[in-house]
Structures are given as C-alpha cells and as structure tokens.
Amino acid sequence: MVDRPNKPSAIAPAASAPQPTVDIADDNSSITATLPSGENVTVLLHGATVTSWKSGPGAEKKENLWVSEKAVLDGSKPVRGGIPLVFPIFGAPPANHATSKLPQHGFARNLRWEYLGKSTSESTTSGDAGTGPTDNSVKLDFGLYSANLTDEQQDQWPYDFGLVYSVTLSRDTLQTMLNVRNEGQLGFDFQMLLHTYFRIGDIGSTAITGLSGVTYTDKVLNATEHAQAENAVRIAGETDRVYKRIPQSTTSIVEGDKPRFDVVRDNLPDTVVWNPFKEKAAAMADFAPDGDYVHMVCVEAGYVSDWVRLEPGDTWEGGQRLRSLL
C-alpha cells in the first residue's frame, strides 16, 4: 500500500442547526415554545388559551397580544385577553336548542386541556438545499375530550367528542387550528370562535380592513342588521359586531397607514370585531388598566352566524393564521 504524504483531513460532521425549544412551567400551568430566532408563544393549559405571542425583527421581540393586568390565570375563570377558544356555543345559548343549558361561550375556555406534545419542521428559504438560511416552526398540540367534562357539563351537552387544538409558531406567523371529532352515536351542532385580543398602539388610529360590503349584526344596536359600507372599520365607541359569511379570507388591522396584522381564516366564515371602549372597560372587573381599551382590539375568526353539523364518526377542522407585519 502506497503511503500518501498529504492525506486529506477527515471531514468534520456538520454542526446541527439550532432547534426550537419547548418548556413546561414549573407549576405545569403553561407551555412556552421558542424559535432559535427568538420568537415565542405561551399557551396556558387552562382553556388552551394563548397568553403571549412575541415576534419581530431584532433581539427584542414585540408582544402581539393584549392581556389584561387583572386577567385571572389560575383556572377559576376564563382569561381576559390572549386567544381564548370558544366552543361549542358563541355568546348566550339560544332557547330550545341542544346548547341551551350551557353557559355563555360554552366550556372549552373553562377547562384544563391536556398537552399532547410538539412537532418541529425546518425549511430552506434561499440558496441551495442545505446551504441557505432556514425557517423553523414548532407545533404544540392540546386535547380535550368528553371524558374531561364534569357530570354537570355532560348533562348540559351529552355528546361524545374529541378536540385537538394545534398552535403553530413560525417566524412571523401564529396558526391556531381546532379539529373536532364526533366520537359518539349522535350527531351534534356546534359553533367555535378564536377570541383574539390584538395589542395595538392607539385605537383612534387603527382600522380593520377587508370587510367592505359584508353584512353584520350590531350587538350594540339591539342586534340589528347592517351592511359595511366603508372599506375601513374604525372604532370610536363601544363596538360589538358579527360580520357574517365574509367572501374574502383575509382581514387586516392597519395602524395609521401601515398594516400591522393579517388574519387569514381557514374554513371559518365569520369575524367578530369587539372593543368595550371607555365605559364598559371601566365596568369590567378583570379589565385593566381601565384606559387600555385604546391599546387593544378583538378581531375574532369564527363559525358563529350558523352551526356546524357533525355526524357520528365525522371530523371538522377550522382555524386562523395570524401574521405580524412589523
């Protein structure tokens, strides 16, 4: 065998790219996922409520969601802020309906969900495969089942179901999707809503676009029906509107003349726009500071103007993709 004087050096194994991390709170109350680039999301197991979503350029990430300083996070009541999940009824239940015994907004936001685990993905965004910068994402799954209901709740809504709620964080987006399975022998009707509280600079310079021509129910004006004439919805007083069967999939929040958020609905036809404004905010015990109504607006994707009918063995999925436009 010939001895080569200049042997090639061994090829060092490629360093593995940083991966998203997932941390469980010491008291087992919440899950936080963080990308290598610093974006993060926190989900409270009570209600599977997203309580924080931070993103943006630079090392200091900006909070995208508003949560009241007096929000109750111990599981004794729903969270005022973040993204509470409404199921299987939106608002007060109608009389003589299968949901009529349930409390307002149902039970999903009031119960502790099970953390089912995480999955991660990585995609090359530029350059040759394996050489360009990559985008990471991490998906957190949470479960709630009919067996988790109390005896009283099972009496109020006696159906066998399984819910899987997936929260997926990527660099500038947060996706929240709900999968509903009918695991029983009876069909059932339900509604769902993602009650998202966005943090904004000033409600006076904020507009919601993408709703022009859409019919809405104005709950402040005795649930009367109206058509949205202007492209931009501006808030100058208490606002509680249900925009129904919206043809386009994207609704946007604009601050001044700059887009701030896009809300892209997936299999959800409706959007609720809500701000309590001065007097109602002051009257709400868990809304603080009182004047913070100027720093929040709810743009809530949902299926609430009608019912989803789910027969035995069937599944349904719907949700939203939020994009921060910093």
Query: For tokens 């109750």, what's the residue?
Result: 72
Annotated active-site residue 195? The verdict is: yes
**Catalytic residue (one of 39, 46, 105, 195):** 195
> What span, in angstroms and rounded, lies between the C-alpha atoms of 238 and 203?
12
Q: Which residues of the chain have pLDDT under 50?
A: 1-2, 4, 124, 126-132
Residue 28, helix vs strand vs coil: coil
> What span, in angstroms and rounded, lies between the C-alpha atoms of 165 and 146?
15
Q: Looking at residue 130, what is its pLDDT?
A: 43
**Catalytic residue (one of 46, 230, 300, 311):** 300
Structure tokens given for 62: 């900006």
Q: What is the pLDDT of residues 182-207, one digit of tens each?
A: 999 999 999 999 999 999 999 999 99
Q: What is the pLDDT of residues 147-182, one digit of tens each?
A: 999 999 999 999 999 999 999 999 999 999 999 999
pTM, full prediction? 0.92
Q: Looking at residue 17, what is its pLDDT?
A: 79
* Cβ count near 75 (within 10 Å): 15
> What span, in angstroms and rounded, lies between the C-alpha atoms of 121 and 127?
18
Q: Looking at residue 9, what is its pLDDT?
A: 56
Q: Looking at residue 129, what is its pLDDT?
A: 44
Structure tokens given for 125: 């965004």
Q: Are 26 and 40 in contact (CB under 8 A)?
A: no
Query: Could you say which DSSP state residue 45 is in?
Result: T
> What span, in angstroms and rounded, lies between the C-alpha atoms of 310 and 147?
19
Q: Which fold has domain 21-324?
A: Beta-galactosidase; Chain A, domain 5 (2.70.98)
Q: What is the mean pLDDT of the chain?
A: 93
> Is 104 one of the annotated binding-site residues?
yes
> Is 234 one of the annotated binding-site residues?
no
Q: Looking at residue 122, what is its pLDDT?
A: 77
- Enumerate the domain spans of the chain: 21-324
Alpha helix (H) residue ranges in 71-182: 151-156
> Is 109 one of the annotated binding-site residues?
yes
> What span, in angstroms and rounded, lies between the C-alpha atoms of 70 and 286?
5
Tell me whether residue 93 is exposed, middle or buried, using C-beta atoms within 10 angstroms of its C-beta: 0 to 12, 13 to 18, 19 or more.
Answer: buried
